[in-house]
Each structure stands twice: as C-alpha cells, then as structure tokens.
Structure 1
C-alpha cells in the first residue's frame, strides 16, 4: 500500500475507528518511513481532516479552553451523573477522601449517601456547599486564591494545608487525558494543587466523560501511570481502554 491516496484513506479510516493513531504503528502497518507518515499527517491536517499531536494524530481538536463551571455543568450531564453514582459506590464508611474541582466531581458529591460518616477535603466551594447538608460528613475546605471559572481555590496556601493530611482516595476531575502527555487542566496553579492532592492520597480515581480523551490543557497534572482508576462513559474507544489498562490503570465504563 504505497500510493498517497491509499495511505490517506487507510489513516482516516483507522482514525475514525480508534480516535487516535500512532506514527510508529502506521509505519509498521503501511511499510513506509516515519518521514513519509509525518508528511501524510501534515497534508491531512492542512485539509482539516485531523489534528497532529506529538507522536501521532487525533480526529478532535486536542487543545482545551477554560470554561465556566456553569457552562461545563450542562455538557454531558447524564454521563457525569452516571459516573458520579458509580464513583460514590467506592466510598466506604469512615473514609477520608479528597474531592478536587470540576463538574464531574460535583456530580459525584451529589451522589454520596447523606448519612455516611466521612471526612472530605475539597478545593471546590460548590462541593463543600453540597456536602454541608450531610450531617455525618466533616468537610475541610481548603483556602487560597479563588479561581472563578471553577469556583475552587488554588495556590501555595492550599498546597501547604494538604501537607498535614493523608487520605484513602482522591476523586479527580480533568480537562484532558492524552495517552502520551498525561492528565491536564487549563490552569497551571490548579494543576500544581492537583499534583499535591495525588501525593497525599493512597489511590487516585479520575472521573471524566469520554470527550476529555485525546485533549490537552495548558497545565499538566501527572502522567497516566500515576493514577489508579478511571471512571468514564461508553464513548471511550476500545483502543484507549486497552492503552490505559496496559499502563496499569483500571477502567470502569458506565
């Protein structure tokens, strides 16, 4: 399969099936050099048929933009509710957990049993307000600079407070998950706080709808192999699931 048209047709079909393609894999499958594949990807990108990323290409724009929590809460709301319910089943009596910011983790907080004995540390004001109605939940609200778009706090003060704790589980929302680049958010300071949350948690559970896969935000949180569990919806591709599992990440699809 050496003609330009045949290669391009093969690349587009593979992308439509897997959502992401790797240069190394394409070289082996099409029996051409990496220089040829990169030229092919550049031509297809110029025609607005794909987006080139490091080491490969994707069908969707990989770069995320900051949106307000009110806007994001309306997106994939049914999926987020289902993800939140499955995540809530992982929380046990007397757990000490961290809940980060974002609409997926807010949906999770709304699914937590009202009478469960819990200690919750959170950076998100809307999560704290949601859990204030739970009589047996002790809420520790982190302080610091408020990020208005996510109604959450961030900065050195928040990070320093976390150093005094160690928790069973962290429930983390993200703006993007890229198999090579890792987990990201659109704000660098929030990414730094999320890294601190990971460092003081026994297990990191990522709650995300499937539209976040293949996306990249400005601030990197961590690599894929630093998380334990991803809960997402059925929109995730089989290829992505296999890649995550090969990195030692448990994947639950709702």
Structure 2
C-alpha cells in the first residue's frame, strides 16, 4: 500500500477503531519505513485528524486543561486510592518528606500512619489539614499565592522557604507524563515550584494513574531523567513500562 491517500485512510480508520496507533505496527502492516509513517502522522496531525505521541498517535487530545480539585477527585478514584496507599507505605520512621499538590498525593496523605516522628513539607492546604490530625507529624506549610483549583500555594515565597530544607523523598502528582516531553502540570508557577522540590529531595517519586500517560500540561516540571520511581495502575501499557525501565525509572504497578 504505497499510495499516500490509501495509507492515510488506513491510519485514520485504525485510529478510529482503536483510539491509538503504533509506528512499528504501521510499518509492518503497510510495509513502509518509520520515516514515511512519521511523515504521514505529522500530515494527519496538521489536518487536525489525530495527535502524535511517543512512538505513535492517538485520537484523544493529549493536552490537559485545569480542573477544580473536587472534580478531579472523582476521576480514577479507585486507582488513586491504591496508588496513594502504596506510596504511604514508603514513608519511614523519623522521615522528612515533601508532598506536592494533587488528588493522588492527597489520598497518600490519608493513608499515612506515621512511625515515630514524621516531618512533612507541603504546598497543599488539603494535605496539611489531613496530616495535622496526627500527633507525631510536624507539618511545614509553604506560603504564597493560593491556587483555588488545586488548594495549593505557588510563587517565590514558597520557593524561598524551600531553600532552608532538604528531604529524603518527594511525592509528586502530575497532570501529564509524556515520554518525550517529561512531566507536566497545567500551571507554570506550580511546575516551577515542583522543580525546586525535586532539587530539595534525595528521591523523586511520581504518583500518577495510567490515564496521565501520553498527556501534556502547559508547564513542564522536568524530564523523566529526574524521576526515580513512578507508582501507577495496571492500565499502563507494556511499551511505556519498557521505555521507562530503559531510562532507569522504576515503575511500581498497583
């Protein structure tokens, strides 16, 4: 099938049927090179027919929009609860950790059972309110500009406070994970604060359900090379797990 119109129609039909296509599969099925397929996908994306992703394309827009926290809490609630519970088990006795904002890290906070003492630095008001119930947890709430959509603070005041601390682990929630672009959130100021949190932690652990993969937010937090571990659910594709493993990122599936 060397006719460009026929190839394009084949790709369009497959995207409609499956929701996504893979470059390697298309090369084998259409008996053309990966260069040809990538050109086809770019042309189809330019026409607004599909969206290119790492190693393929999808029918769904990968760019995330900002949603209120109470709306996001209802999405993939079961998966988030399992992810949060697994992350909470990584907190050790007498630990000092950073917890960012987001509904998945909030579920983690709900599952934390402190062993002896625990110090938590957080930008999220709902995380702080959850953890202040524990007698053995010392909460350091960052200050700054309040983002109502995420119930968290951002800005230079939060970054300035961070300069005085260094923690063992940073638990990060994200809006999107793209194998090429990295980790993103819908707010650029929040992305900048998250980058500083990475710099102030020995280990960065990302909490993200499988729907976050292949998505992009407006603000880039970091590349995948800055991530130590990702905790996600079984909806993640085997291809993505293999790519992350090749990058040295540990993937924990719950």
RMSD: 2.6
The residue number in structure 1 matching 2:119 is 119
In the aligned structure 2, how far is the partner of 1:157 from the partner of 1:167?
Answer: 19
Q: What is residue 222 of structure 2 aligned with on the other side?
A: 222
Q: Is the contact between residue 169 and residue 201 of structure 1 (CA under 8 Å) also seen in structure 2?
A: yes
The corresponding residue for 1:181 is 181
Structure 2 length-normalised TM = 0.89
Q: For 1:9 and 1:27, how far apart are their aligned partners in 2?
A: 9
Q: Indicate conservation of the 8 Å contact 1:144/1:153, yes or no.
A: yes
Q: Deviations over 1:25-61 (max 9, x none)?
A: 579654336356423553377474x313587523421
Q: Which residue does the alignment assign to 2:86?
A: 86
User: What is aligned with 1:38?
Assistant: 39
Aligned to 2:139: 139
Distance in 2, Cα, partners of 1:218 & 1:63: 8
For the residue of structure 2 that corresponds to 1:169, the secondary structure is strand
Question: CA deviation digits over 1:67-98, x for unaligned, max 9?
Answer: 01000001101100000111111111011000
Counterpart for residue 198 of structure 2: 198
Contact 1:45 1:52 in 2 (8 A): no
2:16 and 2:201 map into 1 onto residues whose CA distance is 36
Which residue number in structure 2 is paired with residue 158 of structure 1?
158
Shift of residue 185, structure 1, vs aligned partner: 0.3
Residues 252, 19 of structure 1: alpha-carbon distance in 2 compared, 3 angstrom cutoff? farther
Structure 2 CA distance for aligned equivalents of residues 21 and 52 of structure 1: 10
Change (3 A) 1:191 1:3: same
Question: Any runs of at least 4 consecutive aligned residues in structure 1 with deviations exceeding 4 A, and if so which?
Answer: 10-20, 25-29, 44-47, 53-56
1:149 matched to which residue of 2?
Answer: 149
Q: Distance in 2 between matches of 1:17 and 1:194?
A: 35
After superposing the two structures, state which structure 1 stretch, 139-148 or 52-61, moved more.
Answer: 52-61
Q: Extract unaligned runs of 5+ from structure 1.
A: none
Distance between the aligned counterparts of 2:214 and 2:146, measured in 1?
28
Find the residue that maps to 2:160 and give its secondary structure.
Answer: helix
Q: Distance in 2 between matches of 1:117 and 1:72?
A: 31
Q: Matched residues in 2 for 1:67 and 1:129: separation?
A: 21
Distance 1:83 1:33, change over 3 A: closer
Q: What is the rounded CA distance, in whole Å, between the counterparts of 1:124 and 1:240 in structure 2? A: 29
Which stretches in structure 2 are left out of the alignment for 5+ residues? none
